[in-house]
Structure 1
């Protein structure tokens, strides 16, 4: 993990430590990385288009390529990618998604619109449609539905669940997995500033610009974009919550606050909530090609598939 951290110090940190550079980056054309060629060797992939008031978005459906027919019913995981709401899917996500599908699940990946062209309300509308369809499919075959995401995708997943009535699609979700989640777009979580010096990748100066663009329609204190602002009553309604975080990540502060708040709620007794802290690990370390990353990845897949 030290080598990865050193590489990030030389490459990524300058972007996030500069508000101006993030603004310049948001002014450039940005798209998700295409599905890698080798991905098709181990997965069946179907891509469709979902239209909501803000536009039409691509949604990928992945199932592992096995001897079973590709339409064999499976448990479903809807996965939301990270990227600070201004970057799309990249090769690290596709690698992780391959392992998630190999865990025996159908994986649905909405390629939601990025800020500043799109914001949280467009993503919410897209998720309303995607998760409603996924819940209907799971119910029709007697299978489970879970929700997961990394970084901004984790924040979006939790924000959607907290601001959606616990009926219909939201009620069908039995677990939510959060990898280094970004849970406060203002980056004012207690303890965050103390982690700036040890994080080789992220910096609040740039993240706040991206977060403000994403939250422009609802405001930065809305639970959809900053789930840590949600009331305890809303947190009580959540299904089982799994969190994976590293201590060389400024967003470890967000994960810590959420963990502590969930643990303090009497109504969550009996829930399978868990938080795994990796000392010295960087942001979204389960997506890295490191021993720590691979171990965390296996743990996440097993938890989402209810094997642990």
Structure 2
């Protein structure tokens, strides 16, 4: 189903958000000329994985020492590879807990649940059940496979709620970067029957079960990517070619359906949303989406920073727990989650 869209500016400044500065102009030209997104995708993925490993090491320096109960590598679907999840909850506590389902980022072409393990464990230590979910990344599969898998994961969590200490009526989606996009898209499908019909998804959760959304450094409108400048724009075009499965991805249903900024309704769940002041996506993506939620009357907790804030906070700043602002954002996230328990 084709929908009319107004193209919005993609980034605030022509900076790279995905760390591609190591590529030479000649290599970029050669890769663009290929007939497949695979070579460039694998190169981007390797760069992402290197940065992710460094970030995990940083988070480990701030790891909780609270005893946790852990269920690792639980397979929720046999549809494709990498459909497993990890579950963390405080040891010794009883009954189901408010459950945070964290969807990792990686531009839809990289990433793993282990990239968020230290953060998930820290959240669980605050009194929640936290689930880190894997999904099959592109170009191994294309849209909407990952979205459908995540919907399957929600059904699995509800079916196994007692064993996994999941409260099926207090579920909170959380995500970073592309994971925030997937979280917001799935939440939109759950709370907007017309949008669910458009994308052909039967949600596994009811609106009453989805009690909140946590969005870090996300992407909610891809309409400006075809004209986005610099290496950042090039990298996102490659990622979306891989994810949607067509070089002319913006003309495909997936390229339209990913932009949910105009599809959210007043029934979208209460939201915590943030982005760094040095993240070129913040103004056009996170702030713009927060403004849309405010317009709709959705309860929204905004954590943003002025351009002249003393610290320059990059894309995915929330995982850089060496930053005081990242630790403060974590505390704000916990406060948001505790409000769901009230």
Asked whether the 8 Å contact 2:213–2:272 carries over to 1, the reply is: yes
Please name the residue that 1:276 is paired with.
303
- Distance (Å, rounded) in 1 between the aligned partners of 2:23 and 2:327: 26
Q: Aligned residue for 1:241?
A: 271
TM-score by length of 1: 0.76
Indicate conservation of the 8 Å contact 2:157/2:166, yes or no.
no
Instruction: Determine the structure 1 residue equivalent to 2:89.
Output: 63
1:113 matches 2:146: no
Mean CA deviation greater in 135-144 or 249-258: 135-144
- Please give the residue correspondences for 1:144-183 in structure 2 after superposition, counting only pairs within 5 Å: 144-164=170-190, 169-171=205-207, 172-183=209-220
Residue in 2 that maps onto 1:203: 232
Query: SS state of the match for residue 83, structure 1?
Result: coil
Indicate if the aligned counterparts of 2:225 and 2:237 stay in contact, CA closer than 8 A: no
Task: Give the aligned partner of residue 318 of structure 2.
Answer: 286
1:255 paired residue number: 286
| Among 68, 77, 96, the residue aligned to 1:51 | 77
* Native 8 Å contact 1:16 1:203 kept in 2: no
Map 1:80-229 to 2 at 5 A.
80-89=103-112, 93-135=116-158, 137=161, 144-164=170-190, 169-171=205-207, 172-188=209-225, 203-216=232-245, 219-223=253-257, 225-228=258-261
* Offset at residue 51 of structure 1 (A): 2.0
**Which residue, 39, 47, 61 being the options, matches 1:24?**
39
Q: How many equivalent residue pairs?
A: 280
2:69/2:89 contact within 8 Å kept: yes
> What is the distance in 2 between the residues matched to 1:178 and 1:188?
20
Indicate the SS of the match to 2:77: strand
C-alpha distance in 2, partners of 1:122/1:176? 21
Q: 2:249: which partner in 1?
A: none
CA RMSD of aligned residues (A): 3.7
1-structure distance, mates of 2:256, 2:189: 9
Aligned equivalents of 1:184, 1:246: Cα separation in 2: 18
Report the CA distance between 1:305 and its aligned residue: 3.3
Q: Tell me whether 1:305 sits opposite 2:334 in the alignment.
A: no
Closer/same/farther in 2, CA of residues 26 and 188 from structure 1, 3 Å limit? closer
For residues 238-271 of structure 1, what are the alpha-carbon distances to aligned partners after superposition, in whole Å with 9 as ceiling and x for unaligned? 1112111122112111112112222222xx2xx4
**Whole-Å Cα distance in 1 between the matches of residues 98 and 273 of structure 2?**
20
Deviations 1:18-57 (A, max 9, x none): 7649853523687897x99988984322121122544561
Tell me the distance in 2 between the aligned counterparts of 1:120 and 1:243. Answer: 25
Give the direction of change, closer, same or farther, for the CA distance of 1:219–1:101 in structure 2 (3 Å limit). same
Bigger radius of gyration: 2
5+ residue gaps, structure 1: 1-7, 197-201
> Offset at 1:100?
1.3
TM (norm. structure 2) is 0.69
1:188 CA drift (Å) = 3.8
* Aligned mates of 1:258, 1:245 — CA distance in 2: 11
1:206-230 residue CA offsets vs partner (Å, 9 max, x unmatched): 122112321238635333x2223x3
